[in-house]
Structure 1
Amino acid sequence: MRFHVAPQSFGSSPYFHINRPLTRRSLLDIKNGLLSAECLDDQIPIETANGQASVLIPLANVMGVPGILLEVRGKTLRSHSGEVSFPGGRVDATDTSYLDAALRETHEELGIGAQNIEILGQIGPPEVNLRGNMVVYPFVGFVHAGSSHFDHIIGDVDDEPLPSCDLDAIRRSVSQTEVGAVFHLPFSALTSPARLRASLFRGNRPYWAIGVQDLVPNGKPNPALVEDLPKLQESHSPDDSEIGVGKYGSLEVWGLTGWYLYLLMKRLRMYR
């Protein structure tokens, strides 16, 4: 039987308060915290677009609570249906950069326009997807409520809470074919021991998988994952590279999405 050492320490971040709304000051602190991330070459020749993808990790205040917007992929999608993910997808010929692709996909999937997203930075290095045919580039942004026109205040620093997003409005604007549900994962949930499951990414890198069943509207276990649960339990393997199943088949942030979330929390020093 194979064992591993799980991440041991988690708590508050020096860049923001996990129970208070994000502010201009905290966004600036997060930007500075992400500056040490491995630099990604954002400009891409169009002819090399195949085999490249990008995702956006969208931070947001919702009802005065800071956290991250996530989606459950539509059940009719051919790959990873019913799984939790960030908005994003394949870079196509219309995109001029990896970031362009992430913003376009976010608009197509969640109906959130680029004009409402303030890019805070990126995390790296990018990972290859499980099939081995796609390099996925992760970016971090903050979703401003409504038409915030934030460009002219990016240099300001203050401690006023930034307006909260209307999650119900976002849910009404999602792509019905690509997105099964949208939910908000509070930062405080990322440090709740009851939600954390020690796991391995690609079989050898420990991280936390996050239980989110109760945060998803009408959330139900993914039938495909439930079907594979006995096989996973019989193997007694903590490696969820192939089967991202939680306890009793419940929804989790796992796999590549979970790994990128873990890297972000490490970068923001919530996980140590």
Structure 2
Amino acid sequence: MSRLPMPNPNASIVSLTSPFTRRSLRTVKEALSAAYTTEYAINPTETHAAVLVPLCNLNGAPGLLLEVRGKLRTHSGEVSFPGGKVDPTDESMLHAALRETKEEVGLGADKIEILGRLGPPVRSLTGLRVWPYVAFLHENPHEIPASGHETSPLRSPMLSSLTLSRTEVAAVLHLPLNRLVDPSYLREHRFRGSSPYWACDVTDLVEPGIEWSNPGVNSGDELVGGTCGWLESWGLTGWYLNLLMKVFLAGHYH
């Protein structure tokens, strides 16, 4: 039996089924600002990475853009956010996340609206300190609309319009928000072998023929490898998705 209570979608501060609007993005931005007030110091002796946690509307549903990593040295074929290692030339952690997103999926900063930080920055299994930023992806360069459009659905780019770096990204997928509260798609994992969180099955969201890998059925997050017939958000990606849903569900996502 799971030791995690099932998430309650009725507690959400924004709709999990209706598209994001200017009003709902403002709600998310205010909630992130209230939830994460600590300013985390950057340790110059560590190696850092930065990722976007990109919200978007697709086919009339709110969700997140996720990647399936290409054949890379680490975490090949796994679900991830856009982002990567911070370079010495990057002006900031956020600049690195935006640069990597442009390189990986072809979206420029003018189409990315930053909503806030998600934290704290956690060390990955490869030793990188990962800094996450929540954003919304716009189809066109985003502008603040007139007040009469506060509740109009916002437009995000179609997956087919993205320009993928095939050396880094095998595929992209849209993970609907309501799947993250649907028990039929959730499986309990242990982050770093101790803290429980929900991993979400995304197998059917990836086009056929894409190669992926997953941890074994009974393995903890310290073990990587093996194809298990399904693909899910787990590890640090899954952990940050849980932190985001805690904000959306007013803390009731355990």
TM-score, normalization by structure 1: 0.84
Deviation at 1:163, TM superposition (A): 1.7
Tell me the SS of whatever aligns to 1:200: strand
Tell me the SS of whatever aligns to 1:189: helix
Identity within the alignment, %: 47
What is aligned with 1:64? 60
Of 216, 219, 223, the residue aligned with 1:242 is 223
Distance 1:147 1:107, change over 3 A: same
- Write the letter of the residue equivalent to 1:189: R
Distance 1:13 1:126, change over 3 A: same
- Deviation track 1:222-271 (CA, whole Å, cap 9, x = no partner) reads 3x54xx74xxx5xx45x33323778x441110000000000110111162
What is aligned with 2:155? 163
What is aligned with 1:265? 245
Contact 1:213 1:252 in 2 (8 A): yes
What is aligned with 1:177? 167
Q: CA RMSD in A?
A: 2.6
Give yes or no for the alignment of 1:136 onto 2:136.
no
Q: Select between 20-29 and 261-270 the one with higher mean Cα deviation.
A: 261-270
Q: Following superposition of structure 1 onto structure 2, how do residues 142-157 of structure 1 map, counting pairs within 5 Å?
A: 142-148=136-142, 150=143, 152-153=144-145
- Write the letter of the residue equivalent to 2:181: T
- Write the letter of the residue equivalent to 1:184: H
Contact 1:42 1:97 in 2 (8 A): no
Of 31, 35, 38, the residue aligned with 1:37 is 35
Distance in 2 (alpha carbons) for counterparts of 1:59 and 1:166:
13
Contact 1:65 1:186 in 2 (8 A): yes
What is aligned with 2:3? 5
Deviation at 1:147, TM superposition (A): 3.0
What is aligned with 1:15? 13
Distance 1:163 1:113, change over 3 A: same
Tell me the SS of whatever aligns to 1:57: strand
Of 126, 139, 159, the residue aligned with 2:121 is 126
Distance in 1 (alpha carbons) for counterparts of 2:41 and 2:182:
38
What is aligned with 2:108? 113
Q: Please, which runs of 5 or more residues in structure 1 have no aligned partner?
A: none
- Write the letter of the residue equivalent to 1:135: R
Give yes or no for the alignment of 1:99 onto 2:81.
no
Tell me the SS of whatever aligns to 2:34: coil
Distance 1:43 1:127, change over 3 A: closer
Higher helix share: 1
Of 34, 37, 53, the residue aligned with 2:49 is 53
Tell me the SS of whatever aligns to 2:35: coil
TM-score, normalization by structure 2: 0.89
